[in-house]
Amino acid sequence: MKKTLLLLGMTMAAVPQAKAESPLISDGKVSGYLRAYDFTRDYSGNALTDLHSFSLGGKLGVESGSIGGFSAAAGFYFAHDIGFNNYSQNNKYLNPLLMGTSHGLDVLGEACLQYKNSWTQIRAGDQKIDNPWVNPSDGFMMPNLYQGITSEFYPAAGLKLSADRIWRFKNRTFSSFQASNLFELPYSNPRYNGSNNGTLDLGASYEKGPGRIQAWFYNFYDFAKMTYVEGGYRFPMGTVVSPFADFEYMKESNSGAQFLGSVDSRFYGARIGLNIPQGNVFFAYDKVPYNQSAGISNGNLLSPYTQIYNTDPLYTTVMNYGLVSARGAGHATMLGTKLKLLGGRLDLFPTLSRYSTEPYVSSVNAFMFDIAYHMQGRFKGLTLRNRLGIEHGLAAWGNRYIDERVMLQYNF
């Protein structure tokens, strides 16, 4: 921990003192955040052991200025338990989702070169990627990170084209990049702990006025090929209240060696709601049709970078459950609202959802409440957030369990 703080101090002190002889330095930027996180899981009314983890950490990011469109960026991540966690009885009481089972984690997670002009951006190296099925999953101390080449092109107003080739992956609780994905984790379902050849994704999105649409193709090499389409329309009514409608569809099939077996899955979903001055209210529905041809009721739907973290793009997925991680055919419904109050300082996001997957998997009811307060004035950049989740019906975890995730973060 002392080494981490010393490195941060030396880096932040050195940047302002550097001579501004080149735009690489004079136009450079330093940014990041400090984060304290407390994560508890209470398996109420059953024999499972309650879990807890605490961590203090953050990120220091440095980005150079640009010469001829070329620049460089790096991001250092750190997380430490500062003596608050219980590692006894082989980590029986520790929640490994927060920062794994180590006492501390220090990682140079981002290190990439970039070329950018008015119509394109290309990055090569270790970096964050954020698209529907390959994303940071940044719900704890560190994000998922990727090693590869990413590119974006802007050939016309409102149109963006994307192409990414990923070779290696760093899970948010690991210290290094590996030729792997989330299926290697010991608590993953399904599980594959061998190496793989990464992922290719191609995407296109278009937005004009009240309408938008995006389409993606993924080849999760030797696991599955996926096509995903999502879009929406906001109906302008000239009043303070206006309706909206969104849709999504996914089709997945075999790829290469089929490390986790045959794949033949799909889902479709819709979301309707009303935009109001303080936010919106909505109802969402997703359906994974029954298809036993791949040996499992949901067609063996695979998502190598989101599956057990519940960060997939389905409208009904919540922070700790969803149809993808359920591993069973069925449908889900959600009623919720997103509100911004007190001039944008207070965020409220409560939802009620139902995952009807019987007889293949136990059906689950879930209540989520996400609240965040953003400080202003001299404390601007400081956010206090609490995410509470209560689930009923998941047989493997007893009749009920409660997740509570409290985070204090300062952005600089």
Helices assigned H by DSSP within 138-222: none
The pLDDT, as a whole number, for residue 4 is 40
Q: In whole angstroms, how far apart are CA 59 and each of 111, 173, 407?
A: 13, 14, 15
Asked if 366 and 395 touch (Cβ cutoff 8 Å), the reply is no
Mean pLDDT, consecutive 10-residue stretches, the chain (412 aa), reads: 42 45 86 97 81 96 96 97 91 86 94 97 98 96 97 98 98 95 92 96 97 98 98 86 97 97 97 96 98 93 96 97 96 98 97 97 96 96 97 81 96 96
Q: In whole angstroms, how far apart are CA 220 and each of 135, 209, 210, 217, 314?
A: 14, 33, 33, 10, 18
Asked if 356 and 324 touch (Cβ cutoff 8 Å), the reply is no
The pLDDT, as a whole number, for residue 397 is 75
Cα distance between residue 101 and residue 90, in whole Å: 10
Cα distance between residue 128 and residue 113, in whole Å: 13
pTM of the model: 0.91
- Residue whose tokens read 């689950």: 364
The pLDDT, as a whole number, for residue 238 is 67
Asked if 263 and 300 touch (Cβ cutoff 8 Å), the reply is yes
The pLDDT, as a whole number, for residue 293 is 86
The pLDDT, as a whole number, for residue 48 is 82
* 3-state percent breakdown (helix, strand, coil) of the chain, nearest 5: 10, 50, 35
DSSP 117: -
Q: Which residues does 30 contact at the CB level (< 8 Å), separation at least 6?
A: 11, 12, 15, 60, 61, 62, 63
Q: Which residues does 351 contact at the CB level (< 8 Å), separation at least 6?
A: 318, 334, 335, 336, 366, 367, 368
